[in-house]
Amino acid sequence: MATKAATAPTGTGFTLFLTGLSGAGKSTIAGELVRQIEELHKRQVTLLDGDIVREMLSSGLTFSKNDRELNIRRIGYVAAEVTKHGGICVCAAIAPYRSSRAEARERVSRYGRFYEVYVSTPLAVCEQRDTKGLYARARRGELKSFTGVDDPFETPTAPEISVDASRGNVGDEVKRILALPIKDGALKKAAGSA
């Protein structure tokens, strides 16, 4: 029986690390990033969405500071492995602490580019969206240590790019984000683009 040879990724490995409050639009932007990279740039993408990582890789962790940092350490490890092998990783996690984001950056940067994308949607907008009802529960005191309510979100000091998902078009924001790896040569321009 003939086996199919594995094909190496074409291009340089890199990670797009989206951070921001719950409800900021990270998952929506991440999904569109994956779609555009796969459809327009013909590259496969590994998506590490915070909710799925919590279910599959970090199900035993609590929401203590130590466990949140361990969760981001795990995401950073997987992203570094993907990047090391020439792949593209899109991460969408609250990642509230600068120290754990810096650790993820350091780990990934050993193998390729790390782009921190701060999804800076205002807290008031995130609370209005509140599709899971988490902010409301935190405000009532039913959820403790909830980021943005009674636990801090440490704003990125020098992200590669900031986007506000409450303004403009998600597709336009995604193009702004993808302009970074294209400029660096980590991602080829889409066929037919200027």
86-129: pLDDT as tens digits = 999 999 999 999 999 999 999 999 999 999 999 999 999 999 98
What gap in Å lies between CA 114 and CA 117, rounded to an integer?
A: 10
Q: Is residue 7 part of a domain?
A: no
Task: Give the strands of the sheet with 113-119, arranged side by side.
Answer: 45-49, 88-92, 14-19, 113-119, 161-163
Query: Is residue 164 situated within a structural domain?
Result: yes
Does residue 191 lie within any of the structural domains? no
For residue 7, is pLDDT > 60? no
Number of folded domains that form the chain? 1
Sign of CA dihedral 138, 173, 99, 88: positive
**Residue 55 domain-assigned (yes or no):** yes
The per-residue pLDDT for 4 is: 39
Give domain status of residue 190, yes or no.
no
Residue 6 pLDDT greater than 50, yes or no: no
User: What letter would DSSP give residue 152?
Assistant: -
Structural domain harbouring 128: 14-184
Look up the CATH number of the domain holding residue 49. 3.40.50.300
pLDDT on residue 165: 85
* Separation between Cα atoms, residue 97 and residue 72, nearest integer Å: 9
* pLDDT for 193 beyond 70: no
Lowest-confidence pick of 19-28, 108-117, 136-145: 136-145
194 part of a folded domain: no
Are 19 and 117 in contact, with CB atoms under 8 Å apart?
yes
Query: CA 80, CA 68: separation in Å to the nearest integer?
Result: 18
**Helix (H) or strand (E) run with residue 103 in it:** helix 98-109
- Classify residue 2: in a domain, yes or no: no
Residue 43: inside a domain:
yes
Half-sphere exposure of 191 (CA within 13 A, CB side): 6
d(CA 190, CA 44): 14
Is the whole-model pTM more than 0.85? Answer: yes
